[in-house]
Structure 1
Amino acid sequence: MNTVDLHTLTGAYALGALSEQEAAEFGRHLAQCDACTREVRELQETAARLALAVAEVPPADLRTRVMAALPEVRQLPPIPREATVLPMRRRTRRRLPYLAAAACLVVAAVAGGLAVKARQDADAQRERSVRAEQQAAVVSALMAAPDATFHTTALKGGGSGTVVASKRMGRAAFLYRGLPALPEQRVYELWYSRDGSMVPAGLVEPGRSSGTMLLTGGPQGADGVGVTAEPPGGSRTPTSPPLGLLRV
């Protein structure tokens, strides 16, 4: 701060409106500037006279009213030692950029999460499409195999199923039509019948009444395919009577 600037601070200094650093610097200037010293003294005397001119004698019962109102006045929390007290307006202004930045981060995180979710959904859909195309190709080859066999039967409760098998290819498929909806805690499960035991061969996709699925494992050594209703995820052995048995 130069000398010209210091000369303009006499009024602010007289009224105590300078910061601590500015007041200290101006105080050092006063020790060397008689003109500013006189001006500050005159301004302080004028301010004191103005204060006395507008002063009023307080009512006699003012102290009593103030003391009676104290219990109803909310007290401010204690200020921690060495804490820096900032004006409320300044603190609010400083917080606004941080709040805006935080809001931007939240929006970016949500947008990023939605983008990741959309990409994951797209990848899952693409994988399902690839699997469906591969299965369709295998089923087409299976049905065209020279040794392919076709066995169809009506299922208990409604609908029908057809087993297409080729022992040369070592594959079998289940074609189903009109399957009735099962209770929420049940799914259709396919089984190979081998030497009197039932071996899991796959689950029908829940909610589908018609479609085609490749059976897990090959038909070698199997004499039939069974259909049952099982708990979600399937069972190791059938837990309900068969809804249908088809030859292989």
Structure 2
Amino acid sequence: MTSTDAHTLTGAYVLDALSERETRDFKGHLARCETCTAEVREFHETAARLALAAAVVPPAFLRARVMAALPGVRQLPPLLTGTAGVVPLGGRRWRERLPSLVAAACLASAAVLGSWAVHTRQAVDGERVRAVRAQQRAEALAAVMADPQARFRTAGLGGGGTATLVVSARQGRAALLYDALPALADQRVYQLWYSDDGGMRPAGLLDAGQRTGAVLLSGDSRSAEAVGITAEPHGGSPAPTSAPLALLAV
């Protein structure tokens, strides 16, 4: 292996594509060549990032976007050396560096696709977690409604609409069914509270913009004396900011 040949083997070395003899000879070359040492280090760093990526087929829209963007990409001018002519791409130096450049391009492309795959996987996992939690809430709500010993309390809200409280003492859970609630101004939301020990503790929010539905209250209902409904600023409050629109005994 000549010194010139060794310069072209950085990419193959990182990808473990060399024979045992070539690997041994190239390691000796690395001990003397700072340029190849730096290039190998950069390739190794890129390969390490690929370990986090999952295999994935690029989305169909990716090719369409690339092709659509090509007409607006300005081609680079020829590389000049002083007033000399254009450096030919077919020169010996370019041929010698071509394997390394190809390897680097492959690693860079794989890194981009790997990053896209990681973000896609995270988004899918997030949706799966939200779906599981929604199913769990729905099952808990159904369990409260199906309790043959559950207690029901119905009341009208000041300003309009009705609410029915369902309490399962055996499960220590409560649910609220509501209908025709009036819209609230200034992005305010309906918030639920447990009333116990002379105070009010948060028990959840109703979905903004949903006037009819059912919700499982958060927290244990065993110590509560009543459930209150108030109108609160967007996002809810740690304590009621106004008098309850309805107060239903547990």
TM-score w.r.t. length of structure 2 = 0.53
Which residue does 1:72 correspond to in 2? none
Which residue does 1:217 correspond to in 2? 220
The alignment status of 1:129 with 2:131, answered yes or no, reads no
* Matches of 1:204 and 1:119, distance apart in 2: 26
Which residue does 1:149 correspond to in 2? 151
Higher-Rg structure is: 1
* Matches of 2:112 and 2:182, distance apart in 1: 46
* Matches of 1:76 and 1:180, distance apart in 2: 76
State the percentage of identical aligned residues. 43
Q: Deviations over 1:46-95 (max 9, x none)?
A: xxxxxxxxxxxxxxxxxxxxxxxxxxxxx958xxxxxxxxx562549733
Greater RCO, 1 or 2 (C-alpha within 8 Å, sep 6+)? 2
Residue of 197, 200, 203 corresponding to 1:198: 200
What secondary structure sits across from 1:106 in the alignment? Answer: helix
* CA positional deviation for 1:238: 0.6
* CA positional deviation for 1:132: 1.4
* CA positional deviation for 1:183: 4.5
* Matches of 2:204 and 2:156, distance apart in 1: 19
* Structural mapping, 1:69-218, within 5 Å: 89=89, 90-91=93-94, 94=98, 95-141=101-147, 144-145=148-149, 148-167=150-169, 169-183=171-185, 185-194=187-196, 196-215=198-217, 216-218=219-221
Structure 1 contact 139–214 (Cα < 8 Å) conserved: no
What secondary structure sits across from 2:241 in the alignment? Answer: coil
Which residue does 1:229 correspond to in 2? 231
Structure 2 contact 231–242 (Cα < 8 Å) conserved: yes
What secondary structure sits across from 1:136 in the alignment? Answer: helix
Letter in 1 for 2:125: R
Letter in 1 for 2:188: R
* CA positional deviation for 1:125: 0.9
Residues 191 and 127 of structure 1, relative CA distance in 2, 3 Å threshold? closer
* CA positional deviation for 1:106: 0.6
Letter in 2 for 1:243: L
Which residue does 1:238 correspond to in 2? 240
* CA positional deviation for 1:157: 3.5
Structure 1 contact 162–176 (Cα < 8 Å) conserved: yes
Residues 130 and 192 of structure 1, relative CA distance in 2, 3 Å threshold? closer
Which sections of structure 1, spanning at least 5 residues, go unmatched? 1-74, 78-86
Q: Moved runs in structure 1, 4+ residues, more than 4 A?
A: 90-93, 166-169
* Matches of 2:126 and 2:195, distance apart in 1: 39
* CA positional deviation for 1:197: 3.0
* Matches of 2:161 and 2:197, distance apart in 1: 27
* CA positional deviation for 1:243: 1.9
Structure 2 contact 137–216 (Cα < 8 Å) conserved: no
Q: Deviations over 1:122-168 (max 9, x none)?
A: 23212321331133123311xx20xx432212223332111123445
* Matches of 2:167 and 2:174, distance apart in 1: 4
Structure 1 contact 192–219 (Cα < 8 Å) conserved: no
* Matches of 1:210 and 1:163, distance apart in 2: 14
